[in-house]
């Protein structure tokens, strides 16, 4: 039948055009003078850094943003993996990458001189490039005190007053892991039960939603990362977010004793990096003063390079005293922390 043939011809043509379009979107991932990055960090966040890198070295960058399964993908790709550098957040993920065998050791004088030893793997499999504090957001109106401890969050005086995101989120898991490392599992579990009893509502949303909730009067305290506050204060497009940030103050927990829990964002060299030299060049750059100040200015994180300045916004929160607990101890306790969250039923909220 003529019409059938016509339909077939048309569909065929459509398929060809579509396939052509697809092929056109495929870049040359392994061209000379490039470095391939598998990143858990958002592209627009690292874009200014990578632009500066390319300008300085002439090496082009290709970024693939991946969240869940980044390590699994590199492992599956095996020796054919195009990945050179892995950029990710959270110590647990960095250690996981090492354990999965998708990273390689880097011994480089420049990198080691830039990044203090407490922020890197002793065997050179991963390096921290920024830190972020897990702090307490407190309502300016309803909370008088200007200091707080994590331990205090379990105090019944806060009953029905605390908001947080899911206990299974890796930022909270790391915080709980640090509690286990400091107090042992039994005490940490007691503490978590107290925290659960103090919740104002079921854990949900992201860190910013907790600030919103304080503004709304749903809770007096929220747990969140420092840089979210910076993002809200400087949000010109949604000025209402400045009001949310304006309704609260940042308290650095335990600043009087062991210090505030910090986590890192970091980098690692992929095991089968096809462009090893370029990758090394990038790693050196990310630890340099120039890159560190871009990190500080665009995402309100703390640089790891000794002497590098934090942004003005972050300075306004006050001085941070980081907890000196080794990162490896946090990573070690993650599984226990995650199971504890289930056991306590933290994510069920205060009611049950």
Q: Which of residues 228-257 bind other proteins (CB under 8 A)?
A: 228, 231, 237-238, 240, 244
Options 51, 67, 146, 277; binder of other proteins; rule CB under 8 A: 67
Q: Which residues pair with 39 in a beta bridge?
A: 65, 87
Rounded to the nearest whole angstrom, what is the least distance from the CB of residue 67 to other proteins in the complex?
Answer: 6
Q: Is 351 in the site for other proteins (CB under 8 A)?
A: no
Q: Is 201 in the site for other proteins (CB under 8 A)?
A: yes
CB within 8 Å of 340: residues ≥ 6 apart: 176, 180, 185, 188, 189, 192
Q: Is 345 in the site for other proteins (CB under 8 A)?
A: yes
Q: What share of the chain is helix, strand, coil (3-state, %, to 5)?
A: 50, 15, 35
Closer CB to other proteins, 11 or 316, in the complex: 11
Residue 199 carries which DSSP code?
Answer: B
Q: Is 347 in the site for other proteins (CB under 8 A)?
A: yes
Q: Is 323 in the site for other proteins (CB under 8 A)?
A: no
Options 54, 57, 60, 64; binder of other proteins; rule CB under 8 A: 64
CB within 8 Å of 196: residues ≥ 6 apart: 344, 345, 346, 348, 349, 350
Q: CB–CB of 229/137 below 8 Å?
A: yes
Number of residues lying near other proteins (CB under 8 A): 75
Give the closest residue to 82 by CA, choosing from 274, 305, 320, 337: 274
* Beta pairing, strands 262-270 & 221-225: unpaired
Q: Is 63 in the site for other proteins (CB under 8 A)?
A: yes
| Residue range at the interface with other proteins (CB under 8 A); choices 102-110, 113-121, 265-273, 341-349 | 341-349
Q: CB–CB of 288/212 below 8 Å?
A: no
Options 51, 72, 190, 277; binder of other proteins; rule CB under 8 A: 72
Judged by CB under 8 A, the chain residues 38 through 57 that form the site for other proteins are: 42-45
Rounded to the nearest whole angstrom, what is the least distance from the CB of residue 39 to other proteins in the complex?
Answer: 10
Judged by CB under 8 A, the chain residues 140 through 199 that form the site for other proteins are: 166, 168, 170, 173
Rounded to the nearest whole angstrom, what is the least distance from the CB of residue 144 to other proteins in the complex?
Answer: 18
Biggest alpha carbon distance in the chain? Answer: 85
* Beta pairing, strands 221-225 & 162-163: parallel
Q: Provide the b/e sequence for 141-177 (b: ≥16 CB within 10 Å).
A: eebeeeebbbbbbbeeebeebbbbbbbebbbbbbbbb
Report residue 57: phi and psi, to 5°: -110, -15
Helix (H) or strand (E) holding 298: helix 289-299
Rounded to the nearest whole angstrom, what is the least distance from the CB of residue 64 to other proteins in the complex?
Answer: 5
Judged by CB under 8 A, the chain residues 75 through 134 that form the site for other proteins are: 76-82, 92, 96, 99
Residue 133 carries which DSSP code?
Answer: E
Rounded to the nearest whole angstrom, what is the least distance from the CB of residue 244 to other proteins in the complex?
Answer: 8
**Helix (H/G/I), strand (E/B), else coil: 220:** coil
Q: Is 25 in the site for other proteins (CB under 8 A)?
A: yes
Judged by CB under 8 A, the chain residues 1 through 20 that form the site for other proteins are: 1, 3-4, 11, 14-15, 18-19
Q: Is 306 in the site for other proteins (CB under 8 A)?
A: no
Closer CB to other proteins, 155 or 339, in the complex: 339
Rounded to the nearest whole angstrom, what is the least distance from the CB of residue 165 to other proteins in the complex?
Answer: 8
Options 203, 230, 253, 266; binder of other proteins; rule CB under 8 A: 203
């Amino acid at each position: 039948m003529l019409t059938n043939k016509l339909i077939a011809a048309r569909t065929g043509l459509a398929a060809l055009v579509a396939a052509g379009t697809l092929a056109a979107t495929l870049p040359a991932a392994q061209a000379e003078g490039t470095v391939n990055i598998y990143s858990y960090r958002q592209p627009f966040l690292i874009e200014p850094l990578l632009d500066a890198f390319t300008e300085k070295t002439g090496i082009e960058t290709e970024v693939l943003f991946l969240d869940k399964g980044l390590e699994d993908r590199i492992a599956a790709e095996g020796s054919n993996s195009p990945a050179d550098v892995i950029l990710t957040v959270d110590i647990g993920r960095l250690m996981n990458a090492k354990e999965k065998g998708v990273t390689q050791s880097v011994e480089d004088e420049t990198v080691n001189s830039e990044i203090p030893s407490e922020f890197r793997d002793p065997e050179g499999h991963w390096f921290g490039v920024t830190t972020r504090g897990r702090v307490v957001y407190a309502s300016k109106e309803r909370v008088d005190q200007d200091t707080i401890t994590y331990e205090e969050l379990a105090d019944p005086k806060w009953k029905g007053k605390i908001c947080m995101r899911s206990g299974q989120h890796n930022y909270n898991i790391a915080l709980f892991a640090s509690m286990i490392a400091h107090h042992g599992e039994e005490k940490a579990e007691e503490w978590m039960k107290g925290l659960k009893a103090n919740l104002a509502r079921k854990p949900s949303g992201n860190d910013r939603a907790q600030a919103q909730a304080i503004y709304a009067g749903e809770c007096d305290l929220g747990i969140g990362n420092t840089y979210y506050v910076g993002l809200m204060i400087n949000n010109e497009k949604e000025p209402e977010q400045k009001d949310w940030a304006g309704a609260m103050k940042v308290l650095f927990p335990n600043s009087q004793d062991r210090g505030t829990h910090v986590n890192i964002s970091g980098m690692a060299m992929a095991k089968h990096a096809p462009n090893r030299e370029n990758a090394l060049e990038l790693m050196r750059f990310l630890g340099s003063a120039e890159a560190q100040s871009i990190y500080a200015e665009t995402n309100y994180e703390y640089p790891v390079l000794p002497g590098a300045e934090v942004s003005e916004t972050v300075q306004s929160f006050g001085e941070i005293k980081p907890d000196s607990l080794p990162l490896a101890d946090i990573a070690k306790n993650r599984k226990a922390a995650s199971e504890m969250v289930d056991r306590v039923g933290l994510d069920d909220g205060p009611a049950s």
